[in-house]
Amino acid sequence: MSTDSADTNPAPANVTPIDPPTLTTKRLVIRPYRLRDADETARLAGHEKVVDTTLNIPSPYTPDAARDWIGTHDEMYQTGAGVSLRIGLKDSDAHVGGVGLRVNSRHSKAELGYWIAVDHWNQGYATEAAGAMLEYGFNTLNLNRVYAHYMMRNPASGRVMQKLGMAREGRLRHHVRKNDAYEDLELYGMLRSDWQKRQQGSSP
Ligand SMILES: CC(C)(COP(=O)(O)OP(=O)(O)OC[C@H]1O[C@@H](n2cnc3c(N)ncnc32)[C@H](O)[C@@H]1OP(=O)(O)O)[C@@H](O)C(=O)NCCC(=O)NCCS
């Protein structure tokens, strides 16, 4: 989940542009959005159950708003501010979600966020896509830290973070307001050294 942040990217002295990647996993192709993805993005990400536990998805989410959002990605890549990718099924190219990293280059860290279309929940797609994003963040962007938050009432997202091997770092009480209610967030993080240890542990 992307949250408000006192941590927003200061204008870095040396901007390192990001070459938008396509990541492939066992079941998924995770690629940059194209303008033609706008209708599906609005329909799937704009579902009330996806909007409910995220902070930055407009509601209602119109195709025009999705087009505008996709139109911001070139600048995001050019300024090195982040990566936002469409998750599609390898077999059918069905759009099943989105995953992103919001990069803070000054601190070599990024915030991880993801969503999966409601019809595809609980099939491991968020974990698979976010795992590929962690690998990309540590191996290609050379990040030192990746962190993520979830609302306490969204334990499925917490489970994704646990399955990724991220460590619980604490609770941010009333950190955000959603629909006029303050929400507690759980904070999870992973360091590059944790990632490397995990990779070594999983090699044969
Ligand atoms: C959170 C979300 C991304 C999970 O996507 P997903 O593809 O279903 O996730 P995965 O299948 O990889 O893993 C889900 C895990 O949560 C578990 N889970 C599901 N509902 C749960 C619940 N109510 N309580 C506890 N665990 C739950 C699943 O059993 C699974 O764990 P397991 O593999 O150990 O059985 C998806 O529900 C979503 O998009 N929600 C709306 C948007 C959102 O909240 N994004 C994250 C913001 S931080």
* 182 Cα to the center of ligand 1, angstroms: 22
CA 170 vs CA 95, 100, 177, 185: distances in Å? 33, 22, 18, 9
H or E segment and range at residue 66: helix 63-71
User: Which pLDDT does position 13 carry in this prediction?
Assistant: 53
CA 113 vs CA 21, 22, 57, 139, 147: distances in Å? 16, 17, 12, 18, 9
User: Which pLDDT does position 15 carry in this prediction?
Assistant: 82
- CATH number for the region 23-202 comes to 3.40.630.30
163 burial (CB, 10 Å; 0-12 / 13-18 / 19+) is middle
User: Which pLDDT does position 135 carry in this prediction?
Assistant: 98
User: Which pLDDT does position 5 carry in this prediction?
Assistant: 44
User: Which pLDDT does position 1 carry in this prediction?
Assistant: 58
Cβ atoms of residues 70 and 41 within 8 Å: yes
CA distance 101 to 81: 9
Pocket of ligand 1, candidates 160, 175, 187: which has the most ligand atoms within 8 Å of its Cβ, to mutate?
A: 160
Residues at CB less than 6 angstroms from ligand 1: 1, 50, 53-54, 114-116, 121-127, 150, 154-157, 159-160
Beta bridge partners of 114: 99
User: Which pLDDT does position 177 carry in this prediction?
Assistant: 97
User: Residue 68 is encoded by which pair of tokens?
Assistant: 């505008």
User: Which pLDDT does position 204 carry in this prediction?
Assistant: 63
Tell me the pTM: 0.94
* Nearest atom, ligand 1, residue 163 CA: 34
User: Which pLDDT does position 112 carry in this prediction?
Assistant: 98
User: Which pLDDT does position 6 carry in this prediction?
Assistant: 46
Residue ranges for the chain with pLDDT beneath 70:
1-14, 203-204
Please give the single-letter amino acid code of residue 56: N
Each residue's pLDDT tens digit, 124-144? 999 999 999 999 999 999 999
Instruction: Give the number of residues written for the chain.
Output: 204
